[in-house]
Amino acid sequence: MSRPGNYGKSSRLKQLRQIRRRKQQQTSRTIHWDQVEDFLLGRYHLVQGSQLPPVVDATIQRFFSEWLQTALAQGEAQIQWDVTALTTTTLQRIGNQVPWQFYGLLAGQAEHWQKFLRREGPVLPLSHPRQIINPLSMADWQQLIANQLADNLLTVSAIPVTAKQREQLTASFLVAGHLQWTAVAALFTPLGFQITSGTAAETSQWLNQLSGLTVADFHQ
């Protein structure tokens, strides 16, 4: 029979070996910085996207891809991902490259997408996982999308407006803090949406599917 002292030493050595093994396993599972986008997009599709209609899944995947490019452009050293700031910048960059229906689908999935991000971001298998800060409330999402739709419309229309007129336009898209897609469609539909020449076939097909959606396809 081993003496207590020897048993204790053996037990501690075993614990140290287990700790080292766990660290090695964690290290082997760590992904590279340039793999983050593919990793999170894959996770999103498996967890949520596969349960959505194809056009909705494709829309949120494309938004998420643009959002991640915005976040990753900050560099690996920036461990805090500010949801409000990154989302605002991402939507500004997307702008009129998509029809208004893109924003309708995004509004319907924003809460689910953000929950996914807040859950998955902190456990990203990086040497320094991300901190997800400043999430958007649902009211904030509605306001942010309304702001972007107003900017998109004014850009297409090329009509000089004052700050007050812009605020009035944004307000016309909201009733009691909820986006009114009938009002949005009434202003955007007459303008139409043109797919840029040279757009990839897959992207063109997706944009055509989006353009074919009507107000009836969105929650009022």
Asked if residues 130 and 121 have their Cβ atoms less than 8 Å apart, the reply is: yes
| Residue 198 exposed, middle or buried by CB count within 10 Å (0-12, 13-18, 19+) | exposed
Cα-atom radius of gyration of the chain, to the nearest Å? 23
Q: What pLDDT score does 9 carry?
A: 46
Please tell me the predicted confidence (pLDDT) of residue 219: 60
pTM, two decimal places:
0.85
Contact predicate 33/72, CB 8 Å: yes
Q: What is the pLDDT of residue 5?
A: 45
- Alpha-carbon span 196 to 96, nearest angstrom: 11
Model pLDDT, residue 13: 52
Residue of 174, 93, 85 whose CA lies nearest to 136: 85
List, for the chain, all residue ranges whose pLDDT scores fall below the cut of 70. Answer: 1-28, 219-220
Q: What is the pLDDT of residue 218?
A: 83
Distance CA 179, CA 174 (A): 5
CB 151 within 8 A of CB 159: no
199 contacts 184 by C-beta, under 8 angstroms: no
The whole-number pLDDT of residue 10 equals 53
Per-residue pLDDT, 188? 95
